[in-house]
Amino acid sequence: MTSSLLVLQFILAAVLTIAIMLQKSSSIGLGAYSGSNESLFGAKGPAGFMAKFTFVIGFVFLLNTLALGYYYNQEKKVSLAETIKVQKPIIPASPAAKETPKAPKAPSAPKTK
């Protein structure tokens, strides 16, 4: 399902880009190549039709994006971050603590007679 939505996403992106480029602007852009037959699109010419067409394609693009995100998350229920195994660092054991030697006894004073 996601692969077909992904292909549709690329097609919609291309159509949306072309629709935007064909609209008239102050410098005309690629709108000069859209033709000048105004009777085909109505009294307003291609400007009104292209604006509506761009809006519809943009809305379908948005819906497809949301559907693609939803279905992708349904297929991938486990996050990639959750599959990473974290190993605890191995800390070398310290040598066994032996009994600490006792301090030497102080010499005792000689006995006086």
Q: Which domain holds residue 33?
A: 2-77
Q: What is the mean pLDDT of the chain?
A: 77
Is 98 among the domain residues?
A: no
Is 109 among the domain residues?
A: no
Is 39 among the domain residues?
A: yes
When divided into structural domains, the chain yields a total of: 1
Is 56 among the domain residues?
A: yes
Question: What is the band of 51 on the pLDDT scale with cuts at 50, 70, 90?
Answer: confident
Q: State which of 2-11, 47-56, 70-79 shows the largest mean pLDDT.
A: 2-11
pLDDT at 18: 92
Is 23 among the domain residues?
A: yes
Rounded to two decimals, the pTM is 0.52
Using CA atoms, how far residue 73 sits from 2, 21, 56, 105, in Å, is 10, 33, 26, 75
Is 11 among the domain residues?
A: yes
